Amino acid sequence: MRLYHYVGHPEILAEVRPGSGGEPIRSPDDLAAWPANRSADETAEPLTFVMDVDGFLRSPLGEANTSPAPAGYRS
């Protein structure tokens, strides 16, 4: 797997907190179980999946956990 360093806006990077990347999903059973532990509102909103550095899918982060770049910013 090729890893890339963050190249976005430093103000967004400053908002990242350890442990905020969701839970690892290591199997189809993990993925099937994820919505069972969430409210209907949580599973209805747009979701963001990411891969961690170990190659595992991370549990979805809701739209509230994503940040747009400031207006006019280009990386």
Range of the domain at 26: 10-65
pLDDT at 22 over 60: yes
Please report whether residue 44 resides in a domain.
yes
Q: Tell me the β-bridge partners of 48.
A: 61
Please report whether residue 71 resides in a domain.
no
Largest CA distance in the chain: 42
Please report whether residue 48 resides in a domain.
yes
Rounded to an integer, the average pLDDT of 25-34 is 88
Query: In the structure, what pLDDT confidence band is assigned to residue 65 with cuts at 50, 70 and 90?
Result: low
Please report whether residue 49 resides in a domain.
yes
* Number of domains the chain contains: 1
Q: Which amino acid is at 18?
A: P
Q: Look at residue 39 in the predicted model and tell me its pLDDT.
A: 83
8 is written with which tokens?
A: 């976005």
Please report whether residue 17 resides in a domain.
yes
Is pTM beyond 0.95? Reply is no
DSSP code for 19: T
